[in-house]
Amino acid sequence: MSQKQDQWTSKLGFILAAAGSAIGLGAIWKLPYVAGMSGGGAFFLIFLLFTIFLGLPLLLTEFTIGRKTQHEAVTAYRMLAPGTYWHWIGKLGVATSFFLLSFYSVVGGWIVIYFARSITEGIGGRGAEEFEQLFGQTISSPWLAIAAHLVFMLMTILVVQGGVQKGIERVSKIMMPALFVLFLIIVIRSVTLPGAMEGVRFFLVPDFSSLTGQTILFALGQAFFSLSLGVSIMVTYSSYLKSNESLPRSAVSIVGLTIFISILAGLAIFPAVFSFGLEPTEGPPLIFIVLPTVFSSIPFGSVFFVAFMALLLFATLTSAFSLLEMVVASVTKNDPAKRKKAAWVCGLLIFVLGIPSALSYGVMGDVLFFGLTFFDALDFLVSNVMLPLGALLIAIFAPLKIKKDELYDEMQKGSAFKRSLFNTWYVLVKYVVPIAILLAFINTLITGGV
């Protein structure tokens, strides 16, 4: 057995780091654009159901595995099922994190550019169309997109090479609430724009005629993406945890926060989209066009915009740390002597893999894989295939390889988890989660996504 691991410096540290991993581009950037392309309200409702009935139980499962074993994911699965192939769940998670971070960092780069611009140029009194053009110009410049992606990766590497991110925990305590407050300001402005109600309706009133087989798979992928599930990162994070923390309570808080920020993001974006006469189907650039336009119609909008971009960058970085941490922890097996080198080597490889994604909205815009740009194809593979597959395997693994009583004991530590709730969790993870994921896959295969 290897040496004792670092532990979180405070009780709050773990929850902040886990929430930091969860809250990021998933809720703020991805959800609005995927919901926009998938018909709005019906998508959002299914996403919520998946988040509560599949995401929450799975988050608790990952936490339980991590704290029980006190080891990063690959080792954790090895300990629980020695001599089997189950530790490949951990390896799949590492590969998924690697791919995911490569395009996540490209969007991180766009935020870096917008943040820098918000300081040097402000936003002026531009309208939606100008912001649309500006976005197009910005990311279609190959060198700028690659340089920004590199800057984002370097920031991520610099923090991860230093070990479990102590300073970050402390800063999160201020940054996260500040992000919520700014979001509330945008929501208030957005829903009071002329014609905003159409957008509120689009986002909150389900229209089931817009649903396709693929929508359901996308909602599933989105639920796992925004909770950082399926790659065992939450196993790794909770392995640094002492036994006096309530796992069920932590899981509920993180899911609650993620849902809350998802709703804020939707209410910030869609009313404005309709009010400005934009299309909700804009795709990945959506928030980069809508948000600056909203800010430009708020008094002191330029100042708020700088603050918002800084906070969004922070939220994005805390998610990126978790992704690189996942890769680095599995390469180094928590040997501190290897951490620095591993962070640089893995981080730079991820940067290289991200280059074609960075070019996907510019010079490589016409290079298509199954009809998708490199960026979109990789995102599809990660979010809608690899994450659900990882989640499926974790849901099969836990009840199969850990005794029911041991699971209950672990969840009870630091909390008074009722047996009846535990039984509900057990049924959800053992039956509902695997069946739902399989059905979503099968449905997509049969309908061909239509």
Which positions touch ligand TRP (CB under 6 A)?
21-22, 24-27, 97, 100, 225-226, 228, 231, 233, 319, 322-323, 387
Which C-beta is closer to ligand TRP: that of 246 or that of 319?
319
Q: To the nearest whole angstrom, how small is the minimum distance from the Cβ of residue 19 to ligand TRP?
A: 10
Number of Cβ within a 10 Å radius of residue 65: 30
Q: Which amino acid is at 75?
A: T
Q: Which amino acid is at 33?
A: Y
Which C-beta is closer to ligand TRP: that of 61 or that of 226?
226
Instruction: Round to whole Å and give the CA distance between 119 and 123.
Output: 9
Which C-beta is closer to ligand TRP: that of 101 or that of 216?
101
Which C-beta is closer to ligand TRP: that of 26 or that of 36?
26
Instruction: Round to whole Å and give the CA distance between 71 and 394.
Output: 16
Find the angle CA(25)-CA(437)-CA(229) to the nearest 5 degrees: 35
Which C-beta is closer to ligand TRP: that of 25 or that of 186?
25
Number of Cβ within a 10 Å radius of residue 420: 8
Q: To the nearest whole angstrom, how small is the minimum distance from the Cβ of residue 148 to ligand TRP?
A: 18
Q: To the nearest whole angstrom, how small is the minimum distance from the Cβ of residue 213 to ligand TRP?
A: 22
Q: To the nearest whole angstrom, how small is the minimum distance from the Cβ of residue 437 to ligand TRP?
A: 15
Instruction: Round to whole Å and give the CA distance between 89 and 61.
Output: 14
Distance (Å) of CA 66 to CA 51, 79, 331: 21, 11, 17
Q: To the nearest whole angstrom, how small is the minimum distance from the Cβ of residue 100 to ligand TRP?
A: 6
Token pair, residue 433, equals 């989660």
Q: Which amino acid is at 256?
A: G
Q: To the nearest whole angstrom, how small is the minimum distance from the Cβ of residue 142 to ligand TRP?
A: 25
Which C-beta is closer to ligand TRP: that of 156 or that of 296?
156
Q: Which amino acid is at 304?
A: F
Which C-beta is closer to ligand TRP: that of 75 or that of 322?
322
Bridge partners, residue 373, by sequence = 368
- Cβ pair 244, 15 in contact under 8 A: no
Instruction: Round to whole Å and give the CA distance between 311 and 407.
Output: 37
Which C-beta is closer to ligand TRP: that of 145 or that of 387?
387
Residue 239 region, left (φ>0) first, then alpha (ψ -120 to 50), else beta? alpha
Q: To the nearest whole angstrom, how small is the minimum distance from the Cβ of residue 97 to ligand TRP?
A: 6
Which residue of this chain has its Cβ atom nearest to ligand TRP in the complex? 26
DSSP label at residue 417: -
Which C-beta is closer to ligand TRP: that of 134 or that of 153?
153
Instruction: Round to whole Å and give the CA distance between 322 and 100.
Output: 11
Distance (Å) of CA 349 to CA 141, 169, 312, 381: 22, 27, 25, 19
Q: To the nearest whole angstrom, how small is the minimum distance from the Cβ of residue 23 to ligand TRP?
A: 6
Distance (Å) of CA 152 to CA 24, 290, 423: 14, 22, 43
Q: To the nearest whole angstrom, how small is the minimum distance from the Cβ of residue 406 to ligand TRP?
A: 26
In total, the chain counts a number of residues equal to: 450
Which C-beta is closer to ligand TRP: that of 29 or that of 274?
29
Q: To the nearest whole angstrom, how small is the minimum distance from the Cβ of residue 366 to ligand TRP?
A: 28
